[in-house]
Amino acid sequence: MTKLRKIEGIKVSTLVSGNMYFYRYLAQPTNILFDMYPLIFMIRKKGMLFEGINFHYIPVKYRMPLFEDMRRFFDDDEIEDDTRLRVRAFRYLILSSRKYRFAKIALHRYVQSSIRSKVLRIPATDWEKTIMQPAQRFLTGNLQVLNTKIVHRQSLLKSLQTSKPIK
């Protein structure tokens, strides 16, 4: 196991949908708010771009309820090392169901060339404990550190605005 910011995982070179990953990231262009250490469930990959649900954008008290709701989309009833998220069905629900509004808010697109560290695949048996760890570091476009409470407050406000399903 390899560590990055107290998060343990298996170093990988290939990203596969349905797995959880952690890495250091520097967004380009830098005129946006971003998490320098995303913890994502990878949902989709297209060329050098990929999408993932970054749990760091979700306030801590809402992470475990979302994770529990996601369990029905895991490919095993019991979480084992090779468990993965069935992403096609889940992605559709993220975009169409209010129940998954926090997943929708936390769905972000990443550019593979902006990864600035080793990529760690989090073993499925560690997913629950890992989503609760405070490893995020939010930065503004000019690389100023932004308080996590501000980001979580913005996420809560967005979740209230996401009352209608998107078609």
Q: Convert the pLDDT of each residue in 78-103 to its tens digit.
A: 787 778 888 888 888 888 888 888 88
| Amino acid letter for position 40 | I
Sign of CA dihedral 117, 121, 123, 124: positive
| pLDDT band (50, 70, 90) for residue 124 | very high
Which of 42, 1, 38, 49 is CA-nearest to residue 19? 42
Query: pTM value?
Result: 0.89
In this prediction, residue 166 carries a pLDDT of 42
Q: Are 140 and 34 in contact (CB under 8 A)?
A: no
Taking the C-alpha atoms of 62, 65, 69 and 74 in order, what is their torsion angle to the nearest 10 degrees? 90
